[in-house]
Each structure stands twice: as structure tokens, then as C-alpha cells.
Amino acid sequence: MSDSLPRRNKYPLRFRLVFTPFGCVVFAATLIGLIRSLINRNAYEIVITSAVLLLMLILGVIGFWKSKKLKLMEPGWKTPSPMTALSNEATIISGLSGAVPLFFRLHFFVKGLFSPGGDKNNCRVTVETSIPHGDTTANLPLDFPISGILQGDGFCVLCDIFGFFSFFCGEPQGKTVNVRSAPCYGKKTQISAVTGAEDQRNKPSADIERYYMREYTPGDRFRDINWKSSDKIDTLITRISTDNQEKVSRIEIYFRNFGSANSSMEALWLLDRAKARLSYFLRNLMEQNSSFIFDVRAAQGSWEIQDMEALDSFLDELAGLSFLPAQNEAPLYTAAGHANTGEMYVFSTACDTVLPGFILACNPRPVTLFLVQPADKKSAPAEQKTQIETLTSDDFLQRGCSVSFKRFRRNVKWLNAHAGRVEMFYAEIKS
């Protein structure tokens, strides 16, 4: 999900100076060289430094004049929908109209803050692409290694090919984008309809006749014909059912995103992999049986997912769910006024220190636990050591995200938790 934000001028100083850092160094060095050459009366050095300053002056005047012409340009950036971590899908840049002078190029930047896992400790993001002469669209390599929320500004600058000047042009566009977890794969979970709660839903009386009537076909019983409705439309209509209730299987899911509010990258990586497992679980079951209704409960609230549209909306919200302090919690869901006695599914991480108590409180209900653990090679089964998912600091740096190496400390301990059925997954970080 992405929303346009009001224009936020976060970078006024650089564009008012118009010099790039490299341009400032060249200009200062050339000016000092010219002064020194005049003092020493070195004609050769005077010619060289004067030529460089003249070139910079010409480029500066042309760039300033042309940037005024491009002031009305409205470049936009459209991220993939949905945006997924490690997808390598390009962000489309459009609206790059206007002629660019020789020795100049348009560059498009996205700068802002990225919140890994929705955490309050943000990473600065800077991604840039150069637009070839004559092109009105371009691709921007905007990608992230982990789920979270991006708050960024996209804007265009006019740069000379020597890197001396950078002129702001066009109207910037701000967006907030939810980045979903990179997908995970594994064996598909099979659920029988009887494992969930049966929800008896009464249909409105106005809908009963419309839903349970259909055109007569050979073989229908003569006594089921609705003569009154048939007379109105001059077609035989058959009454196929008088039952006004339907049974729906409800699947109860707990996503336990409990942990430290000031989380390390290791904890956020475990949370990201738990999100990926939940996403895979929901999509898999929705494809298996479209009549399933999922009641998902997390630390921030609860959701009822009935169809693919509701699922997509939930997955966007899931991307930004961060850790909340651990708390004791008991299963609270009831269906149609009666306690749910069906199987429940719990997704959690090793950061959830009160998870064993929660599972105990669920007794005697059957519980399936999906638990993401740190990659403790001594504790992990031998057959799963090769399935460890890894996150490194280079994964951030290669994608334009600046992150402190201190955040890559390993401080999550192995969690012992037992349930009726437990599926373990392993993740690790490397600085």
C-alpha cells in the first residue's frame, strides 16, 4: 500500500548551494590554484585553472537556466503492488518530460526512512538512478531485505556529467509504502473443515428467496415449483431449499508479536520470518477452501479474513506490525456465543518469553505452533541446519539502507515451547 504525502522539503540546503560535495572541492581547489598562480605569475597554471572555472561557470549558468524550465515537471514513482522484500522488482519512474541539455543528465532520487519490521529505530534510505537522454520513464532499483514501512520522498535533479552541480527540478512526491516479507516455502498445511469452529449464520429473510430460487430444470419435483413467482416472470421457478442457515469453518490464529520494544536486528529478522510463515499459511488455506474464515489476533488487534481482498489488506498491515512488550494472554475468541473448541494455530518467535504460559492456558484445546528460533546449531536438528534463513548487514548496504552494525548483535536465546504439534524454523544474522 502506498499513499501520496504532502510535499516535504527535506533537502533545501544542498539544492540552494547547487554545488555537489565534489563540485565544492573542485571549485575551492581551482580557486586557490588560480590565486597561487597569479601570485607566482605562472602562465600555464593560470590558463588551466581559468579554463576549469570558466567551464564550471558555463555549466552552472546552463544548469540553473534549464532547471527553471523543468520546474513544472511532475515526476512520479510507482512501487510494485504489493511491494515485497527481496523481490528485485523495479519501481517505475514516469513523468520525465522536457529536453535535457548536452552534458547534463536527469537523476531521480528516493530518500527517506525505512522502519524494519515497523520498529521505531529507522534506517536512512538513499536510492538513485540516472535517466538516459530522451527517455520519459526509468526503472529505480528500490528493494529491501526485510519487511517494514518506507516513508520516502521521490524527486528529480539535473546533474552535469562531471558531477559539479545538482539542480533541483520538478515537484517532489512523498509516499508511505508497506513492504511485505519475502515469501517462504515449505510443506503445505492441510486442514479439515471440522477442525475449525462452525459458525451458524442466519441469512436475511430478504435474501432467502433470491438465493434459494432457480429456474426449473427437468427432474425437479413438481411440488417445489413456486407458482406465485413463476406467474410474475412467466418462467417456472423452483424452490430448492427452505434452510436459511449456512455453516462456515472458522480458523482461529494467534500471531504473537511480543518482544522488546527496542529490538535488535536479530529479533526483527525472527519476526519477519514469522510474518512470512503466517502469510504462506493463510494463502495456502485460502486457495484450498474459499469458505474458510480466519480470525487472526495479534498484539495490536484482531482481524476477520473472509476473502482474498481482506487477506491482501491484512498482509499490508502485517508488514508494519512491530514488537510490543510481552504480556500474559489467554484465548478469548468465541463463535456465536459459544467457546471455540476447535484447533488453534499460533505463530511466534523466540522473543515471546511468555509463550509457554499461553499454550498452557489453551489446554485442553489442540494447538499447532509455528515457532521461529535463532539458528543455534547445537539445538537445531541436523536435517534443518541447511534450511537456516540468513540476513546480513550487506543486504541493507547494497540496497541503499544505512544501518548501525551495533544492531546486528545476537541477543535472542533459544526458547523451549511445547504444543500438540510444533513446526520449528530457523533464522540468523551476520554483520
* Model pLDDT for residues 298-345, shown as the tens digit of each residue: 988 899 999 889 999 999 999 999 998 877 666 655 444 445 567 889
Q: Which of 208-212, 330-334, 366-370, 426-430 has the lowest mean pLDDT?
A: 208-212
Strand order from edge to edge, sheet including 91-94: 76-78, 91-94, 138-140
Q: CB of 53 within 8 A of CB of 45?
A: no
Residues in the chain: 431
Q: What is the average pLDDT score of the chain?
A: 82
Find the radius of gyration of the CA atoms of the chain. Answer: 31
Mean pLDDT of 201-207: 44
Beta bridge partners of 53: none
How would you write 271-299 as a 3-class SS string? HHHHHHHHHHHHHHHHHHCCCCEEEEEEC
Distance of alpha carbon 361 from alpha carbon 350, whole angstroms: 18
Question: In this predicted model, what pLDDT tens digit does every residue of 212-255 receive, in sequence order?
Answer: 566 766 556 666 777 777 777 777 877 765 443 344 578 899 99
pLDDT at 156 exceeding the cut of 80: yes
Going by pLDDT thresholds of 50, 70 and 90, the confidence category of residue 361 is: confident
Residue 411: its pLDDT value, please?
83
The count of C-alpha atoms lying within 13 angstroms of the C-alpha of 138, restricted to the half-sphere facing its C-beta, is 23
Instruction: Return the bridge partners of 424, or none.
Output: 371
* Backbone φ and ψ of 209, nearest 5°: -65, -45
Give tens-digit pLDDT for 371-399: 999 986 555 555 555 578 999 999 999 99
Does pLDDT of 347 surpass 90? Answer: yes
Q: Which range (107-111, 232-236, 269-273) has the least confidence?
A: 232-236
Gap between the Cα atoms of 431 and 428, Å rounded? 10
Least confident of 108-117, 188-197, 256-265: 188-197
Ordered alpha helix ranges (H), 195-307: 205-212, 227-233, 265-288
Is the per-residue pLDDT at 148 higher than 80? yes
Identity of the amino acid at 144:
F
> Partners of 246 in the beta sheet?
201
Return the residue matching grid coordinates 528500490. Answer: 142
Q: What CATH architecture applies to the domain 2-20+70-180?
A: Sandwich (2.60)
Residue intervals of the chain classified under CATH 2.60.40 are 2-20+70-180
